[in-house]
Amino acid sequence: MKISAIEADLKSRAKAAFSLDDAAVSSFALAAPPPHIEADASIAWPIAGAKLLKKPPLKIAEELKAALGGAVEAEVVPPGFVNVKFTNAFLFGALKDLEKPDALHRPEFAGEKINLEFVSANPTGPMHLASGRGATLGDSLARVWKELGAEVATEFYVNNVGRQVEKLGLSLKARFEDQEPPADGYQGDYLKDMAAALPETASGWSNAQFSEYAVAEMIKLHKADMQAFGVHFDRWFLESELHAAGGPAKALATLKEKGMAYEKEGAVWFGAASELESDDKDRVLVKADGRNTYFLNDIAYHLNKFSRGFKRLIDIWGADHHGYVPRMEAAVKALGSDLGSFKVIIHQQVSLLRGKEVVKMSKRAGDFISLKELMEDVGTDACRFFFASRGPNTHLNFDVELAKKKSNDNPVYYVQYVHARITSIFDHAAAKGVDPAASFDEAKAAVNPEERALMLKLLWLEKTLADCARDNSPHHLTTYLTELAALFHSFYDQHKVLDPENKELSAYRLFLLKAVKGVIARGLGLLGVSAPERM
């Protein structure tokens, strides 16, 4: 049994005891209590239910305790909490269940079909730090949602059509001809390298050929960066594919059919904004010269996603796109709420620090540090763990020197070391002839406070992942793993794992450490971080 199962059982008992419907007990949940509370879990629902039931929270808590019966050991605490303790048998069973592939599946994610689009950097230059943060956020969330039982398809949208692509081609052509790029073009040294690799026959190329070549090469670089970063996309969707399939025309026709597009001053506009709470004014879809706006193309792209059967669309964008969110929300609403839901996650910028000094300039990429440079400097593991350690709404200061430290000051090293340390313990056990899979009598196991703290922490992994999904952020998982590592160190500093004089105790503690090692590896894997055997 896992914590969501026992939570569902207790919620059902509360629902029956107070004659309530599902909505009335929707906030019923087991939560980890603060460290100073001697309990395994806490229920705050009586406080929330006081207004509904028109009773004092403490009275509701007493009645809830009676309704729970012998399911758990319960205690009422003012002003209306019910603190519970789990049996050792439950804890042992929960640790065994953690080894199952679907151990962390939750019913609310069953049948979810999510399209998750992230990074989607314009193919006009190397990937920068914001791309790395978006890649970490998207890839980690995709892994978490899959771990919880959802079906997730990841996607990178490539804007390979439009004025920016034309500027890129002109900039490459200028470099090839040993000239400076246009003032509004791309100045980075990466185009010098690209130009140097062009064949001599490029002297006869058209501007469009330079653009096509430049985009193809940049996509190769983006794919290589993502592969090195441990990020896999199920699809790299080219904007040109959308146009070839007549996507913008279909989107425009859909909007007109729903009365959400009109003509004015020779252009086609999206409206009426007065009926859409998300946006504050009408927007141009087709300019007076007949060219589509990016807005119409983006609407077409999201309509395409819905047409592929996705019911939940999630986009991850950088902070510079914040103002674009309301109009896209309005557009998706106009397409029809029956198609499914749409959510944009905005992540803030990244600042690089070396100690207290802010790093401002790149060695080669122009006016920014590239993701590739940072990976080469501190390693992919540190990049991903550090990027994941803050919620997307928080500005991130990335301390390069800390990320390179091989000590417990470095949070990723601190967590990875637990996995390596436990591996060495198992190697030591094998060398001593101790069977790490030996059975023991669970009923006779004397669980000390440090061991119980470890067991409970392992139990809360499921809830931690649910928190990540709820808040659209993996930072809960980095915090969880750091706290689990601290509990392991506390246990290991006070207790001997292998005791030749007590085989039962050795078997029990090896069982516990196997569960810790498994959760550390699983958690790091969800963050795209390795779990080394040696350090």
Residue 1 scores a pLDDT above 80: no
pLDDT tens, 204-231?
999 999 999 999 999 999 999 999 999 9
Tokens at 386, concatenated: 């550090």
| Tokens found for residue 27 | 């906030």
The band of 369, judged by pLDDT with boundaries at 50, 70 and 90, is confident
**Residue 275 or residue 349, greater confidence:** 349
Mean model confidence pLDDT for the chain: 93
- Is the bond leading into 199 cis (omega within 30 degrees of zero)? no
Q: Using alpha carbons, list the distances in angstroms from residue 245 to 130, 157, 236.
A: 31, 15, 16
| Best-predicted range by mean pLDDT (91-100, 271-280, 336-345, 410-419) | 410-419
In a domain, 46, yes or no: yes
Q: Please check whether residues 132 and 177 belong to one and the same domain.
A: yes
Asked if residue 461 lies in contact with residue 519, where contact means CB atoms within 8 angstroms, the answer is yes
CA dist list (Å): 159 to 68, 121, 207, 240, 318: 57, 8, 18, 8, 16
Residue 365 CA to residue 127 CA, distance in Å, equals 9
User: Tell me, what's the pLDDT at 98?
Assistant: 92
What are the tens digits of pLDDT across the range 446-495?
999 999 999 999 999 999 999 999 999 999 999 999 999 999 999 999 99
Could you tell me how many residues make up the chain? 535
Same domain, 372 and 511: no
What per-residue confidence (pLDDT) applies to 372? 94
pLDDT band for 500, please (50, 70, 90 cuts). Answer: confident
| Residue 439, domain CATH | 1.10.730.10
Residue type, 383: C
Residue 530 has pLDDT above 80, yes or no: yes
Shared-domain flag, residues 39 and 185: no
pLDDT, tens digit (0-9, with 9 covering 90-100), for 246-292: 999 999 999 999 889 999 999 999 985 445 555 567 889 999 999 99
Q: How far apart are the C-alpha atoms of 78 and 83, rounded to whole Å?
A: 10
Say yes or no: 136 and 223 in one domain: yes
**Is residue 343 assigned to a domain?**
no
* C-beta atoms surrounding 479 within 10 Å: 15
The pLDDT of residue 164 is above 50: yes
For residue 142, what is the enclosing H or E element?
Answer: helix 129-147
* Amino acid occupying residue 445: A
In a shared domain, residues 171 and 55: no
d(CA 269, CA 337): 21
Q: Give SS3 for 217.
A: helix
Tokens of 241: 């594919």
148 assigned to some structural domain: yes
Residue 50 and residue 91 in contact, taking contact as beta carbons nearer than 8 Å: no
Position 313 in a domain: no
Which pLDDT score, from 0 to 100, does residue 436 have?
83
Half-sphere exposure of 79 (CA within 13 A, CB side): 7
Do 352 and 225 share a structural domain? yes
pLDDT at residue 271, rounded to an integer: 83
Task: Report the CATH number that the domain containing residue 377 is assigned in CATH.
Answer: 3.40.50.620
Return the pLDDT at 363: 41
* Residues 43 and 138 placed together within one structural domain of the fold: no
Q: How many domains does the chain have?
A: 3
Residue 501 to residue 532: CA distance in whole angstroms: 31
Between the alpha carbon of residue 187 and those of residues 167, 168, 221, 222, 252, the distances in Å are 11, 10, 17, 18, 36
Report pLDDT for 276: 52
State how far the Cα of 283 lies from the Cα of 334, in Å rounded to an integer. Answer: 13
Report the percentage of the chain scoring pLDDT > 90. Answer: 85
Give the residue from 98, 146, 128, 144 showing the smallest Cα distance to 1.
98
* 45 lies in the same domain as 136: no
Rounded Cα gap, residues 79 and 414, in angstroms: 38
pLDDT digits (tens, 9 = 90+) for 177-196: 999 999 999 988 899 999 99
Q: What torsion do the CA atoms of 145, 230, 520, 355 make, to the nearest 10 degrees?
A: -110
pLDDT over 90 (residue 437): no
> Which pTM was predicted?
0.93
Question: Domain limits at 82?
Answer: 3-86
Last residue of a domain, one of 45, 69, 86: 86
Looking at residue 176, what is its pLDDT?
96
Strands 267-270 and 261-264: antiparallel
Please give the residue that has the higher pLDDT: either 239 or 437.
239
Q: Do residues 10 and 65 both lie within one domain?
A: yes
What residues form DSSP beta bridges with 399? 353
Mean pLDDT calculated for residue range 122-134: 93
30: domain CATH number?
A: 3.30.1360.70
In a domain, 420, yes or no: yes
Looking at residue 369, its amino acid is I
One domain, residues 383 and 424: no
Is the pLDDT at 533 greater than 70? The verdict is yes
Residues 430 and 521 both lie in one domain: yes
Q: Is the alpha carbon torsion for 471, 477, 479, 483 positive or negative?
A: positive
pLDDT, average across residues 484-512: 95
Neighbours of 448 (CB within 10 A): 11
Q: Which residue has the tokens 């940072």?
A: 374
- Concatenate the DSSP letters of all residues of 39-83 into one string: -SEEE-HHHHTHHHHTS-HHHHHHHHHHHHTTSSEEEEETTTEEE
Q: Sorting pLDDT into bands at 50, 70 and 90, what band is 337?
A: confident
Q: Are residues 362 and 238 in the same domain?
A: yes
What is the C-alpha R_g of the chain? 28
- 329: number of Cβ within 10 Å: 17
Which residue, chain included where needed, has tokens 């794992």?
A: 497
Examine the fold and report which residue of 29, 61, 86 is the final residue of a domain before the chain moves on: 86
Residue 95 and residue 88 in contact, taking contact as beta carbons nearer than 8 Å: no
Is 8 among the domain residues?
Answer: yes
Last residue of a domain, one of 404, 422, 450: 404
* pLDDT value of position 69: 86
Q: How far apart are CA 309 and CA 307, in angstroms?
A: 5
Answer yes or no: is 96 within a domain.
no
pLDDT, position 15: 95
> Does some domain include residue 332?
no
- The pLDDT tens digits of the residues spanning 49-104 come to 999 999 999 999 999 999 998 888 999 999 999 999 999 999 999 999 998 889 99
Q: What is the mean pLDDT of residues 369-381?
A: 94
Q: Report whether 270 contacts 281 (CB < 8 A).
A: no
Helices (H), 409-502: 411-431, 449-459, 461-471, 475-494
